[in-house]
Amino acid sequence: MSEEEKDFRMTENFWKTAPFLFPVRFSEMRSVTVGTAGHIDHGKTALVKALTGIDADRLQEEKRRGITIDLGFAHMDLVTGKGEVLRIGFVDVPGHEKFVRNMLAGVGGIDLVLLVIAADEAIKPQTREHLDILQLLDVRHGITVLTKSDAVDADTLEVVRLEAEDFLRGTFLEPPKAPVVAVSSVTGVGLPELKEAMVSMVAQLQPRNAQALIRLPIDRVFTMKGFGTVVTGTLVGGAIRHEEELEILPGGRRVRVRGIQVHGKKAELALAGQRTALNLAGVATEDLYRGLTLVSAGTLETTRRADVSLQMLASAPHPLKDRASVHFHSHTMEAVAEIHLYETKKISPGERRFARLKFPSSALLLPGDRFIIRQFSPVLTIGGGIVLDAATEPRAQTQPDFLRVLLNGDQEPALAARIARQGHKGNSIARLVAETGRPKKMIESELAALCKTGAIERAGDLFFNKAALDALKLSVVRTISDFHKENPLVAGISKEELRDQLGATSAVFEPVAEMLISEQTIETAGEIVHLPGRGVLLKDEEAESKKTIENAFASAGLKVPAIREVLAGLKIDNARSQKIVTLLLRDRVLIKISDQLVFHHTALEDLRRLMVRCKAKSSIIDVSQFKELTGVSRKYAIPLLEYLDRERVTKRVGDVRTIL
């Protein structure tokens, strides 16, 4: 049986038989996750054990070597002055510089940190590195614990306290806002004060959002006999129910929650902020590993690039060049990232810049996620930052101004910018949920507020930037208007062709067309769209007359009738028939070669071919030969030859013509 398994079984059996010590209703309980941080051997694991009675060094190698290699977990309940139970889950991290990557996987989801500084050693390299990491990850609450107080005299303890206060200045752990508590895990001195400080700190914490989308970054995977696959992690958002279907990203595998344990106790529900163990159906242990994330099924997407605000530590040894590769850590995930800087070729220690990160394989990242970057060799934390956008458009189309709006952090302008970025393609609620990782309800209410201001407009299921929608409407109207100009005798453009010419998807086209119809800017007749008062169909008589005229010329070949005679035979009045002739000439169905003579375009095309065949025998032709060849009289032959001269089919040389 593995160490994890023993641990899991122990709590499982214990809580099956033991009654709850504090029988309070679930809603009255607060659950928070507390992380340790600090240099190796400063007493982090001993402190967790002194507080909880649990040895978080669970691996045999850890016990043998007496050092923490991987994350350890423990839990306890604290009771507030008002009798409220606080469930505290601990994530004990390794302090050794070789295991910072494991430390990073642990601190991702914590609410509160205990920064441990041993009174007999004071500030050491990983005290600094861990504090840097905590600040870059935007951990906002914590307590500094001076451990091993029994190992030094009172004066030394005071000196270390002053040193610590100096070291913490300007950080979230600066006293007196954040307390510094001296303890001994050996004698127990200071532990009650530490617990008290934890209770009052937890009271200041904003509860994590249980309404948010589910996100459980996996930090441990193991198999339990009789249970199967078990994963653990700190639930950073949402609530997981028994029997719920979840999705594992990257990959998209669907799994079912067969059992839940929270802070080591069997539960029906896991809430944001809680240390959570899930027994999963539908997946084998071999297919899971630290760094994968369980999410609400069908809501989020993975990415291979992310736009971020990148902060270099002042202590970083070198500037970072554009296109540099670094180790990237976020939540429990670790990857290699290539850094593409915006607006600059290098980022110096202490500087903050926008950058695009590129990953060799898919990753789940969402706006607001904090990350750490470490250089390759020697491996060292050099910076970190905040993810602004993981649904990135090509870099050339990404404006730093867009990133500035996202960095600002206000949700409504950020949503408006995400909608504006899609231009005439619009943006949907489902896509905005996937882009931001924020719950649908919140996005819906923010969109409603934005619609009221007029900054965005809804069409069907899509939301558009007002200016982009206006431009799209205008181009719909222009396209129809152009169609009318080119096709005056056609009722209107088909919806399909219009959509095609606009290059719009039907999700965009249909609602926008509906809008224009209800605004009476355009009109429809079946599948045909036209502008009001335009593209009126020819009446039956006119359509018939048009056909008669065309046929009369088409069948006549070169021996065309006089227009007057053709028109005289029609049922319609002269004005209307003249209009039809004008349109036939404009559309080049009929071609006028002189004041009197009009031909069907096919007759003239035949004539050109005839001239080509004639040239094969002789390239010189005179008027009488032309008359003979075409069978037309002189009255037609002269204008036709002049037409051919103009068209550069023939060239007049004296009395004869050369066929060109």
- Is residue 43 within the footprint of ligand GDP (CB under 6 A)? yes
515: left (phi over 0), alpha (psi -120 to 50) or beta: alpha
- The entry of ligand GDP, Mg ion, none that residue 465 binds, CB within 5 to 8 Å by partner kind: none
Q: With respect to ligand GDP, which residue has the nearer C-beta, 153 or 622?
A: 153
From candidates 32, 34, 40, 255, binder to ligand GDP by CB under 6 A: 40
d(CA 332, CA 289): 10
What does each C-alpha distance from 586 to 84, 137, 479, 544, 563 come to in angstroms? Answer: 88, 71, 20, 19, 16
CB of 356: closest distance to ligand GDP in angstroms?
38
> Three-state DSSP class for 91?
strand
| 147 contact, one of Mg ion, ligand GDP, none, CB 5-8 Å limit per kind | ligand GDP
Q: Which of these segments, 36-44, 325-333, 340-348, 394-402, binds ligand GDP (CB under 6 A)?
A: 36-44
Q: Could you give the string, one character per residue 127-156, with x where binding to ligand GDP holds by CB under 6 A and - elsewhere?
A: --------------------xx-xx-----
Q: How many residues bind Mg ion (CB under 5 A)?
A: 3
Which C-beta is closer to Mg ion: that of 45 or that of 135?
45
Near Mg ion by CB under 5 A, which window of 44-52, 104-112, 551-559, 563-571?
44-52
What Å distances lie between residue 91 and 29, 105, 199, 229, CA to CA?
Answer: 19, 10, 17, 21
Selection from Mg ion, ligand GDP, none that 389 binds (CB < 5 to 8 A by kind) is none
CA distances from residue 11 to 75, 226, 260, 266 in whole angstroms, order as listed: 11, 16, 12, 9
> CB of 17: closest distance to ligand GDP in angstroms?
31
Q: Does 68 bind Mg ion (CB under 5 A)?
A: yes
Please identify the residue of the shown chain whose CB is closest to the bound Mg ion: 68
| Residues whose CB falls within 8 Å of the CB of residue 590, separated by 6 or more in sequence, listed in order | 549, 550, 553, 581, 584, 598, 599, 600, 601
Q: How far apart are CA 95 and CA 102, in angstroms?
A: 9
Binding track, positions 110-129, relative to ligand GDP; x by CB under 6 A: ------x-------------
**CB of residue 138 vs ligand GDP: minimum separation in angstroms?**
24
From Mg ion, ligand GDP, none, interface partner of 437 (C-beta below 5 to 8 A by class): none
User: How many other C-beta atoms lie within 10 A of the C-beta of residue 571?
Assistant: 11
CA 194/CA 114 separation, integer angstroms: 10
- Residues 65-94, interacting with ligand GDP (CB under 6 A): 67-68
Q: Which does 151 bind (CB under 5 to 8 A by kind): ligand GDP, Mg ion, none?
A: ligand GDP
Q: Is 36 in the site for Mg ion (CB under 5 A)?
A: no
The smaller minimum CB distance to ligand GDP, of residues 46 and 566, is found at 46
Angle at 54 between CA 49 and CA 56, to 5 degrees: 80
Q: How far is CA 200 from CA 51, 80, 86, 193, 203, in A?
A: 16, 8, 11, 11, 5
Q: Which residue is nearest to ligand GDP (CB)?
A: 43
Classify residue 654 as left (phi > 0), alpha (psi -120 to 50) or beta: left
- For the bound state, the minimum distance from the C-beta of residue 31 to ligand GDP, rounded and expressed in Å, comes to 24
45 is an interface residue for ligand GDP by CB under 6 A: yes
d(Cα 620, Cα 657) in Å, to the nearest integer?
6
Give 154 or 653: the residue with its C-beta nearer to ligand GDP: 154
Could you say which of 39, 44, 331, 473 contacts Mg ion (CB under 5 A)? 44
Three-state secondary-structure class, residue 618: coil
Nearest to 563 by CA among 604, 602, 592, 601: 592
The yes or no reply on residue 184 touching ligand GDP (CB under 6 A) is: yes
Q: Shortest gap between Cβ of 147 and ligand GDP (angstroms)?
A: 5
- Residue nearer to ligand GDP on the CB measure, 103 or 570: 103
CB of 93 to ligand GDP, least distance (A): 9
Q: Would you say 269 and 239 are in contact if contact means Cβ atoms under 8 Å apart?
A: yes
46 binds ligand GDP (CB under 6 A): yes
Using CB under 6 A as the binding rule, whether residue 186 contacts ligand GDP is answered as: yes
* Comparison of 59 and 491: residue with beta carbon closer to ligand GDP: 59
User: What are phi and psi for residue 548, nearest 5 degrees?
Assistant: -60, -45
Which residues of this protein are in contact with ligand GDP, per CB under 6 A? 40-46, 67-68, 95, 116, 147-148, 150-151, 184-186
Query: Where on the chain is the footprint of Mg ion (CB under 5 A)?
Result: 44-45, 68
